[in-house]
Amino acid sequence: MSVPNILTPASASYAHGSSASPEVFSPIASNDQYYRVKSNLGFAMSEVLSRSPGVGVLDGLTLSTVSGLSITVGAGFALNQGIIDVAADITGVAVPPSSTSHIWLSASGTITAGTTTPPAGRQVYLGSVVTGVSSVTSISTNGVVYIRGGGLWRSLASTPSDSPASSIRAWTQVGTSLYLWDGTAWREVADATYQPTWRKFAVGFADLQVASTSKQLTVASMAAGTVVHAAEIRVTTALAGTSISALTLSLGRTGATTAFVGAFTGLALGNGTYGGTSFESSASAVNLVLEALATGANLSALNAGVIEVHALLSKRR
């Protein structure tokens, strides 16, 4: 059964100012009682919602460079004890040389290039600007709060350490981690780094070719604390090689090449999946190693075949 796509709505465009067509709100005749009552109710509801204790960017308000030591703040909307409508781009916002300026938008629509401490009054943070002697070198939106789906969202480069008001609930993304401000503290609710994930590594026959009957191939590097939950070897294209009558494959780690998938002696060269189960956590960085042993000829005789190594990996805290 199909359902409405409410998570990915069609792109919306917003009118800016009274000269926009159509206007956000059209005038209502004084004698049009039916629509006036409903519209006043809608205005009242919008007013209540806009009085949220949180502030943030609703749409637009992006920072861009023009030339020299100035930037442009794009048109857009913000929430700050009401809707702030920046109807047109604000150009020529000066930033000092050889410094990092933090850009703030006040409830009255005033732009300030200052420090990490906001100017007096409630301010919406728009980002930071780094300058050299005579020009802007970079712009960052790290720390900018966006209002999405009725909630407050932002991205940071490091674990949040600020303390918003107890009445606020907000989300912060740091890399693969997600934190929720519950009114008293930031709580980490998810981190993809620590979730077991299947990873696939492709190995072609050429990767195994060597003037020897054995080879240990590093498939991937695993950082300290990596947990191997399960692993398997899949031969997706038949392995073949002149005078090679059998091939033994195994999967392991540095110093233990059969730790995850035991050696299959006399393994047929045809397609197949050869699995093993394991649960191992390494205290130091090690390599994920595929070992191949040939019978009848050196591995340099291989001329066909593709192998996939699949490993269910996570990282311990």
User: Percentage of the chain with pLDDT > 70?
Assistant: 75
Q: Is pTM, for the whole model, over 0.75?
A: no
289-308 pLDDT per residue, tens: 999 999 999 999 999 889 99
How far apart, in whole angstroms, are the C-alpha atoms of residue 291 and residue 164?
54
Q: Does the N-terminal peptide bond of residue 118 adopt cis geometry, omega within 30 degrees of 0?
A: no
Mean pLDDT taken over the chain? 78
> Above 80 in pLDDT, residue 43?
no
Starting at the earlier edge strand, list the strands of the sheet with 197-204.
197-204, 302-315, 226-241, 272-281
Which whole number is the average pLDDT over 13-23? 41
Three-state SS annotation for 16-42: CCCCCCCCCCCCCCCCCHHHHHHHHHH
pLDDT at 281: 66
pLDDT at 265: 53
> Above 80 in pLDDT, residue 115?
yes
Amino acid residing at 34: Y
pLDDT at 204: 92
> Which is more confident, 148 or 246?
246
- What domains, with CATH codes, occur in the chain? 15-50 (no CATH), 56-155 (no CATH), 197-315 (2.60.120.20)
How far apart, in whole angstroms, are the C-alpha atoms of residue 292 and residue 233?
12
Q: Which residues neighbour 30 within 8 Å (Cβ) at sequence distance 6 or greater?
A: 36
pLDDT band at residue 277 under the 50/70/90 scheme? low
206-240 pLDDT per residue, tens: 999 999 999 999 999 888 888 888 888 888 888 88
